[in-house]
């Protein structure tokens, strides 16, 4: 039986995203909402694919900088390659904690929980809006050494926190207990690439009951709370240290800004 909290009749962010990326872990309500978005913004799929590539590039970059503890908040449904596959491919002993508040993501967590190295992969059913609860939970409290750097990845999740001040406060509370040298990767929704298509998608999300707030480049930059971003700063995600399909991706098709920063 479907657990009641799954609410298959109500579209969910992770499942809409899964459908657009070609996954199978979604319900009719998610598909209807996603098809409406694709009608108004056919580039949505290209944008989401560019966002996944940004996650890969940023996570690999942070692992290559020597970080061995990763806190991925707003994980979504398993999509290959998952973040732990990327970082444990670079550093087999890396520890990864996934955090999401969607019950369907939790149902699929077991599929995600397979380390590909000697490190660990844990899953936490928690809310981004309560960073202190994330740090108090055993996978982080007992599994991480907070005297050493942690990489925090907030990939395509902060658009669900519609108030700028609250979003900035959340990021600053997540980064506060972390050691110098810790990293922060953010990818967040914008409509600056395509105002008309973007407005249509955002309205469809909001009408479906999934709050989404697009941000300008300056607003996304301010989410880093003054932490210095590495080159090339906050850019459309396919322009961030481009590789593979990034070169053929048009700016107007990518509704996400992304960047990576370090704590001094």
Residues engaged in binding ligand SAM (CB under 6 A): 13-14, 17, 51-52, 55, 74-76, 99-102, 105, 127-129, 155-157, 160
Size of the chain in residues: 264
CB 70 within 8 A of CB 88: no
CB 53 within 8 A of CB 61: no
Q: Report which DSSP code applies to 184.
A: E
Residue 94: both structure tokens together: 């890396």
Cβ proximity to ligand SAM: between 37 and 227 the closer is 37
Secondary structure class of 166 (helix, strand, coil): helix
Residue least distant from ligand SAM (Cβ): 76
Q: How far is the CB of 29 from ligand SAM (least distance, A)?
A: 15
Cβ proximity to ligand SAM: between 44 and 157 the closer is 157
Cβ proximity to ligand SAM: between 111 and 147 the closer is 111
Q: How far is the CB of 65 from ligand SAM (least distance, A)?
A: 20
Backbone φ and ψ of 255, nearest 5°: -95, 35
Q: How far is the CB of 16 from ligand SAM (least distance, A)?
A: 8
Helix, strand, coil % (nearest 5) of the chain? Answer: 45, 15, 40
Cβ proximity to ligand SAM: between 93 and 163 the closer is 163
Q: How far is the CB of 95 from ligand SAM (least distance, A)?
A: 18
């Amino acid at each position: 039986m479907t657990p009641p909290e799954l609410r298959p009749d109500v579209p969910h962010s992770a499942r809409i995203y899964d459908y657009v990326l070609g996954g199978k872990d979604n319900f009719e309500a998610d598909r209807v909402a996603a098809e409406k978005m694709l009608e108004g913004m056919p580039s949505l799929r290209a944008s989401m694919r560019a966002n996944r590539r940004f996650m890969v590039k940023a996570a690999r970059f942070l692992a290559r900088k020597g970080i061995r503890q990763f806190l991925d908040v707003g994980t979504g449904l398993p999509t290959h390659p998952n973040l732990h596959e990327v970082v444990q491919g670079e550093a087999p002993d890396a520890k990864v904690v996934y955090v999401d508040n969607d019950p369907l993501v939790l149902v699929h967590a077991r599929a995600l929980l397979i380390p590909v190295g000697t490190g660990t992969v844990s899953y936490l059913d928690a809310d981004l809006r309560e960073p202190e609860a994330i740090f108090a939970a055993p996978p982080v409290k007992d599994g991480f050494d907070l005297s050493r750097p942690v990489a925090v990845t907030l990939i395509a999740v902060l658009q669900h926190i519609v108030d700028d001040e609250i979003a900035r406060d959340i990021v600053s509370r997540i980064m506060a207990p972390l050691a110098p040298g810790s990293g922060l990767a953010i990818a967040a929704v914008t409509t600056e690439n395509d105002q008309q298509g973007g407005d249509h998608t955002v309205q469809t999300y909001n009408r479906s009951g999934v709050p989404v707030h697009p941000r300008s480049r300056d607003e996304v930059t301010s989410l880093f709370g003054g932490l210095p971003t590495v080159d090339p700063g906050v850019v459309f995600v396919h322009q961030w240290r481009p590789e593979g399909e990034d070169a053929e991706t048009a700016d107007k098709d990518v509704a996400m800004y992304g960047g990576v920063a370090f704590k001094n």
